[in-house]
Amino acid sequence: MKTHSKESQVNSIAKPIKLGMDEASVGDDLQRYFGLTLGRDEDSDSHHYLYSAVALTVRDRLVERWRATRDRYMEQNPKRVAYLSLEFLMGRALNNAVLNLDLEAQMRAVLQQYACELEDVNAEELDAGLGNGGLGRLAACFLDSCASLQLPVTGYGIRYEYGMFHQKIKNGYQVEYPDHWLRNGNPWEIESPENARSVKFFGHTEYYLDQNGKERARWVSTNDVLAVPYDVPVPGYQNGTVNTLRLWKSEATDEFNLDEFNAGSYTDAVAAKNLAEQITMVLYPNDASENGKELRLRQQYFLSSASLQDVLHRWVKRNGNGKDFSNFSAKNCFQLNDTHPTVAIAELMRLLMDDYFLEWDDAWAITQKTMAYTNHTLLPEALEMWPVSLFKTLLPRILDIIYEINARFLIQVAQRYPGDVERQRRMSIIEEGDNPKVRMAYLAIVGSFSVNGVAALHTKLLKAGLFNDFYELWPEKFNNKTNGVTPRRWLAHCNPSLKALITDTIGNDWTSDLDHLEKLKPFAQNKEFRDRWIDVKHSCKIKLAELVKSKCDVQFNPNMLFDVQVKRIHEYKRQLLNVLHVIHLYDRITRGDTEGMQPRSVLIGGKAAPGYAMAKTIIKLINNVAAIVNKDPRCQDWLKVAFLPDYKVTSMEIICPATELSEQISTAGKEASGTGNMKFMMNGALTIGTLDGANIEILEAVGEDNFFLFGLDAEQVQEARSSYDPNLIIETDKEFARVMHLVESGHFNQFEPGVFDAVSASIRSRDDAWITAADFRSYVDAQKKVALAYQDRESWTVKSILNTASSGRFSSDRTISEYNRDIWSRDE
Ligand code: M8P
């Protein structure tokens, strides 16, 4: 009998260890990590080592479940999903893991012995800021829901060395600083060099005849870059499942550029390694506009190729000699998070044909049955179009394949619409012209079986507008998946006192089925419950006021209405409209017209893309207005204004529990969904908003008595454009004219003449795409209704409770169940 076969060794390593989850076991492990692994003693007065020891203690328990989950998936062999995304905005991991592993009570007890609170330990962790905003945070919420629903979904992304930049405010202006988030190490990743893949760039296509005399292609003379995976555990909510987020880091292969540099010097060759390592160096900080940089396309292809190779490798390993892909599409699905990883469609074709020798038709059938595309934006400036010339040098073989996909597709269009040459031109994946471009969204639609928008209105507009030709051709591909957010992070973790009140009142089923929050509705009529609700909100407001004091040196008054807008700074999101209202309140206060006014503390936060001048000027305006308002003694009891610097996931965890009024005021038709709106609602804020994105569904869920609706709808916005005359609107609205006068007279920029000229010019422009002036009056009137409603605190609290109680639909568990039902489980 062979007792030391490789297999039995592996088995014994994999044997379940069963780490204790009780206070004593957790305490012993923590002590060992702190004292031995890290070599610290009680005198060490930094919380940093304690954080590391806690993280290692928790990590062991994650890894245990991670392996069990992997084994289970291996055994059950379910259909797998790879969620491909250039962004995963994870934020902090420790508290999430503690909550999901149900370790909180034990950990708190253990930390007492170190005279330390769990919160102090959590505070040591830097945010994993590997995303810009909503799109990246959505990916993170989705991973949480997939693990919580025990779905075999792996996230694939990039391990950026530098995440989203840090924002500081200097003299009112945004200044960017690099986010070197890995500088203290990262306990949540496990490097897996044995699973590294090689990714090709440059070179050219070579055709050859195989043994059977068939012509085949191969991509040769390439510059290869190594993709090394770093795996991050994604725990489900108290269910023993731990899924994986696999992040790729680029490294130079040892042979990197050897040929080229053979003639030159060794040191040049080594220095050239930088080029490979640059690929995963930094996250591009644009949230809504393409900047067309070559390095970005390299990132996209790098992620796509490495991830597909990973999935194919696993398939081949499991399915014998590597030739049989007949069942592949029944067992695999790729969800493309916007067009950013869309080059994966051509890459899958390449791998199946060039590496696994499938014929075009077979490869295409597999591709079209496994790829699914989510669109997140209608903004034309965000639509990715890569120059053909760039593809030609960087990814020549991929360009061949895209051309072939397009040629075959256009034949289909011609057959369906004979003689309609104009339609063929419109629908072509290649935009012709002096500088021809690849339309990535069209490639995504043509190559996939599912195309979804992220809120009902958004999907409707996609079908009617941007993708109308494709909708006519393939109506069955199109579907809606309204976004959601994870109630674990965005309620249970970030608002422990509300969590306790809710659980005390209706039990704790809501944490895994958020529809149970409905059961709160009758309690809205209960005075005692309302008082407790008010107390919770008040305590959260005190915490936010402390944050604002420490970061902005502005004293918010927790007895005032907390009015909040936090999100990326963009003209379509209309932070400008918010400031105009603030200026209007300031104007009223300084005129002594405070009748019916509600004292408020207004918070605005968010980052501007570094190259987006107008967004940066808007930040400057908010800061200058805040400075004038906050130092004016007449405003003291009525109005406080602050711009919170460096808005990120961790800030939102303090902000959303404390918010009473959620500002969702984008130009209708522009915000695809929004997800901050959902986090605020869950935490009992009322929304003031336009009929845009998911606001519409929030309004439907909560009812119009519990929502402050204003502004033109998407259709009216379109109609208004042709005859839009903002100057006339301003002239005929005295209060608006006064606001404009304050901005244009230099009242907020006495020593910096002209800095806001561009802002006022944009408001006054007939071409203002965001038609800010059109909604000013309706917004100000809606804000008056807010003020009035808030003054009846009992009825406001009823509305607040009803908002939380109606937010069940906006759990990402619901969203993911729908992805799973309609897209990922689809039979062929
Ligand atoms: C577009 C880019 C285009 C080019 C280069 C980089 C880019 C990075 C991001 C985006 C982008 O679309 N970003 C978005 S879409 N950010 C968002 O928050 C959006 O997705 C959310 C999730 O679906 C929606 O809730 C938002 O409404 C939408 O704007």
Are 159 and 280 spatial neighbours (Cβ–Cβ below 8 Å)?
yes
Q: Give the separation between CA 369 and CA 329, rounded to whole angstroms.
A: 6
Is residue 497 left, alpha or beta, with left meaning phi > 0 and alpha meaning psi from -120 to 50?
A: alpha
Would you say the CB of residue 251 lies under 6 angstroms from ligand 1?
Answer: no
Would you say the CB of residue 133 lies under 6 angstroms from ligand 1?
Answer: yes
Confidence tier at 2 by pLDDT (50, 70, 90): very low
Q: Which of 59, 246, 340, 376 is catalytic?
A: 376
Q: If you write DSSP's letter for every residue of 274-295 in order, what string do you get?
A: HHHHHTTTB----SS-----HH
Q: 688: which strand partners?
A: 663, 708
Ligand 1 pocket test: pick from 297, 299, 377 the residue with the most ligand atoms within 8 Å of its Cβ. Answer: 377
Reduced to 3 states (helix: H, G, I; strand: E, B; else coil), residue 255 is coil
User: For residue 123, what are the contacts with CB-CB under 8 A and spacing of at least 6?
Assistant: 47
Q: Which of 59, 568, 607, 670 is catalytic?
A: 568
Q: Give the separation between CA 29 and CA 34, rounded to whole angstroms.
A: 8
CA of 163 to the centre of ligand 1 (A): 16
Q: Give the separation between CA 338 and CA 84, rounded to whole angstroms.
A: 9
Per the annotation, the verdict on 675 as an active-site residue is yes
User: For residue 564, what are the contacts with CB-CB under 8 A and spacing of at least 6?
Assistant: 602, 603, 604, 655, 658, 659, 661, 662, 663, 680, 685
CA of 770 to the centre of ligand 1 (A): 17
Ligand 1 pocket test: pick from 86, 132, 138, 287 the residue with the most ligand atoms within 8 Å of its Cβ. Answer: 287
Superfamily of chain region 556-794: Glycogen Phosphorylase B; (3.40.50.2000)
Q: Give the separation between CA 474 and CA 758, rounded to whole angstroms.
A: 44
Per the annotation, the verdict on 313 as an active-site residue is no
Are 485 and 494 spatial neighbours (Cβ–Cβ below 8 Å)?
no
Note the pLDDT of residue 171: 98
DSSP annotation of 564: E
Cα–Cα distances (Å) from 162 to 86, 282, 739, in that order, read 14, 5, 41
Q: What is the 3-state secondary structure (H, E, C) of 627-682?
A: HHHHHCCCCCCCEEEEEECCCCHHHHHHHHHHCCEEEECCCCCCCCCCCHHHHHHH
Per the annotation, the verdict on 573 as an active-site residue is yes
Q: Give the separation between CA 500 and CA 771, rounded to whole angstroms.
A: 43
- Please write the tens of the pLDDT for every residue from 308-335: 999 999 999 998 766 799 999 999 999 9
Is residue 373 left, alpha or beta, with left meaning phi > 0 and alpha meaning psi from -120 to 50?
A: beta
Q: Considering only CA atoms, which of 507, 548, 737, 755 is closest in space to residue 647?
A: 548
pLDDT at 257 over 90: no
Note the pLDDT of residue 442: 98
Q: What is the mean pLDDT of the chain?
A: 95
Note the pLDDT of residue 9: 41
CA of 166 to the centre of ligand 1 (A): 19
Per the annotation, the verdict on 567 as an active-site residue is yes
**Region of poorest pLDDT, from 36-45, 101-110, 542-551, 732-741:** 36-45
User: Could you count the other beta carbons within 10 Å of the beta carbon of residue 97?
Assistant: 21
Would you say the CB of residue 131 lies under 6 angstroms from ligand 1?
Answer: no
Q: Give the separation between CA 300 and CA 317, rounded to whole angstroms.
A: 26
Beta strands in 281-337 (DSSP E): 332-337
- Pair of tokens at residue 258: 């050897």
Ligand 1 pocket test: pick from 83, 132, 135, 462 the residue with the most ligand atoms within 8 Å of its Cβ. Answer: 135
Nearest CA to ligand 1 atom 7: 287
The pLDDT of 779-792, averaged and rounded, is 98
The backbone torsions φ and ψ at residue 664, rounded to the nearest 5 degrees and listed phi first, read -130, 75
Would you say the CB of residue 602 lies under 6 angstroms from ligand 1?
Answer: no
Beta-strand pair 204-209/215-220: antiparallel
CA of 33 to the centre of ligand 1 (A): 41
Q: Give the separation between CA 376 and CA 336, rounded to whole angstroms.
A: 11
Reduced to 3 states (helix: H, G, I; strand: E, B; else coil), residue 569 is coil
First to last CA, the chain: 47
- Pair of tokens at residue 638: 């009525």
Say whether 556-794 and 67-483+817-824 share the same fold.
yes
Q: What sign has the CA pseudo-torsion 550, 555, 561, 564?
A: negative
Are 116 and 109 spatial neighbours (Cβ–Cβ below 8 Å)?
no
DSSP annotation of 371: E
Note the pLDDT of residue 105: 97
Confidence tier at 255 by pLDDT (50, 70, 90): low
CA of 87 to the centre of ligand 1 (A): 10
Are 234 and 246 spatial neighbours (Cβ–Cβ below 8 Å)?
no
CA of 287 to the centre of ligand 1 (A): 5
Nearest CA to ligand 1 atom 8: 287
Are 193 and 57 spatial neighbours (Cβ–Cβ below 8 Å)?
no
Beta-strand pair 332-337/385-387: unpaired
Reduced to 3 states (helix: H, G, I; strand: E, B; else coil), residue 32 is helix
CA of 39 to the centre of ligand 1 (A): 45
Are 571 and 769 spatial neighbours (Cβ–Cβ below 8 Å)?
yes
In the chain, the percentage of residues whose pLDDT exceeds 70 is 96
Ligand 1 closest atom vs CA 382? 3
Q: What is the dihedral of CA 104, 485, 335, 295, to 10 degrees?
A: -90
Confidence tier at 43 by pLDDT (50, 70, 90): confident
- Please write the tens of the pLDDT for every residue from 665-688: 999 999 999 999 999 999 999 999
The type of residue at 324 is D
- Please write the tens of the pLDDT for every residue from 471-484: 999 999 999 999 99
**Could you tell me how many residues make up the chain?**
828
Beta-strand pair 173-177/166-170: antiparallel
Q: If you write DSSP's letter for every residue of 3-16 in order, what string do you get?
A: SS-HHHHHHHHHS-
pTM: 0.97
Q: Considering only CA atoms, which of 457, 437, 313 is closest in space to residue 384?
A: 437
CA of 372 to the centre of ligand 1 (A): 17
Q: Where are the domains of the chain?
A: 67-483+817-824, 556-794
Q: Which of 567, 607, 640, 799 is catalytic?
A: 567
CATH architecture, domain defined by 67-483+817-824? 3-Layer(aba) Sandwich (3.40)
- Please write the tens of the pLDDT for every residue from 15-32: 566 999 999 999 999 999
The pLDDT of 150-178, averaged and rounded, is 98
Beta-strand pair 204-209/385-387: unpaired
pLDDT at 425 over 60: yes
Q: Give the separation between CA 144 and CA 148, rounded to whole angstroms.
A: 6
Note the pLDDT of residue 6: 39
Q: Give the separation between CA 49 and CA 34, rounded to whole angstroms.
A: 7
Nearest CA to ligand 1 atom 14: 135
Are 373 and 449 spatial neighbours (Cβ–Cβ below 8 Å)?
no
Would you say the CB of residue 454 lies under 6 angstroms from ligand 1?
Answer: yes
- Please write the tens of the pLDDT for every residue from 266-304: 777 777 788 899 999 999 999 988 888 999 999 999 999
Ligand 1 closest atom vs CA 458? 27
Kindly report each contact of residues 543-549 with a partner whose C-beta sits within 8 Å and lies 24 or more positions away, as own/partner: 543/654, 543/657, 543/658, 544/603, 544/654, 544/655, 544/657, 544/658, 544/659, 545/601, 545/658, 547/644, 547/651, 547/654, 547/655, 548/601, 548/603, 548/642, 548/644
The pLDDT of 47-65, averaged and rounded, is 97
Would you say the CB of residue 377 lies under 6 angstroms from ligand 1?
Answer: yes
